[in-house]
Structure 1
Amino acid sequence: MEEAGCSNAYRNSIGIEFIRIPEGEFNMGSQIDENNWYDNEKPVHRINIGKAFYLSRFLITQKQWVEIMGHNPSKFAGDTHPVDRISWNDAQEFIKKLNEKEGTDNYRLPSEAEWEYACRAGTTTKYSFGDSVSELYEYCYYGNFDIGSHPVGQKEPNPWGLYDMHGNLWEWVQDIYHDSYKGATADGSSREDTDRSCKVMRVLRGGSWQTSAAGCRSASRYYYPPVTRRNSSRVGLRLAREI
């Protein structure tokens, strides 16, 4: 196992590969009005990621999940396929057990802001590669062109070397869902405040093999209850790790 520190890459005890995401600033959200999509990406706001962190190069695979959890919940089976049919609570249990295995508390889900910052990788376009939907299939499984999840890392990576940030599976992040960015933090930390009149939902990012092109944009957001596995053959996770 390579040691985590100031290196640009890190591989842990079960083979999860991480990329160092540098500190920096970006504009989170979008003013684009997409047909048949949600108006939950506004207002655009400035985020300062003040501390570098690691983010897994790929979605967590079924082989990695089984090594920690001892079972495979996935609908679309395959060692190198991303694990699917997991709730947010399941993701937290995986993180807890991985931290215990490695004697650390550094593993976690990324915040929503960290996720979008890493997905954009310095870009300001709809996707990390530009604005053209005609190029999307080079980077993304989406829109039911191919039914089900696919092995990780088969498409082109984003500029920071992260794979499947667009499509394949939706990815759980840490935050409680709000239907706008009003009141969002400016430091990139996760939002844990709740509107007590509403049922708590957790945020999903990135789109899936079933999602429209609009839903696979860098700014797109969705949500599920933290306990649900309904329709979650479209849902997986990617890990962050403190440096």
Structure 2
Amino acid sequence: MTRLVTAAALAMGLATPAIAFDIGAMTEDERTMFRDEVRAYLLDNPEVLMEAIQVLESRQAAQAEANDVALVAANSDALFNDGYSHVGGNPDGDVTMVEFVDYRCGYCRKAFPELNELIESDGNIRIIYKEFPILGEESVTSSRFAIATQLAHGEEAYGEMHDALMTLRANATEEVLARLADDMGYDSQEILAKMDDPEVDRRIGENHGLAQRLQISGTPTFVIGDQMLRGYVPLDGMRDVVEQVREQDS
């Protein structure tokens, strides 16, 4: 309803030249006549209202994009240089991408193979993973296990565990994850012990705080350069954004 009211006001601006008058000075009868005229005009010319809605949506999208650019700039160190998030792809790539990820998120899983294809085919993208469990107990367990793997066995092990968790079909219980680690050749008991390390809590807490500052409430969310993509984006769309960022930086 708010959008329609705003669009109606825009429609009158699109349809008529600017007229200086004080609506507050109108009598009640004049207000009624004015409203009737507006209603009659919009009913006779509904395409004007649709045009106004398009203008309104365009302005709102532009404002949201500008707001995201400002949020990314204000939080750039935490996004790109936090000192603990895993860095994959090409560490010296000319475009940096950040993904806020939840291993139990269906759209994160859908994006996973396409994201890998983008990184491998491009060859010049640096990707940073932000553990952002928001979908329940199994999400938290999965993220804690991934971070614990990183603490216990290093960056390469984290990368392998990240991929395995993204494709895991079983319920993400500690018992299932321990068997997964053992099958991958890692010490599951050491990883399970690391899950209680305060550093795991700190990292997840830092990521949640960063997401709150960036007004991120869902996964996947991507930051590419200074742009934020909220939700799943098909491969071709991701490629387009990467090229836009490169053009901006060139």
- TM interval, shorter chain, is under 0.3
| Larger relative helix fraction | 2
TM-score (norm 1): 0.23
TM-score (norm 2): 0.23
Higher relative contact order (CA 8 A, sep 6+): 1
| Larger relative strand fraction | 1
Give 1 or 2 for the bigger CA radius of gyration: 2
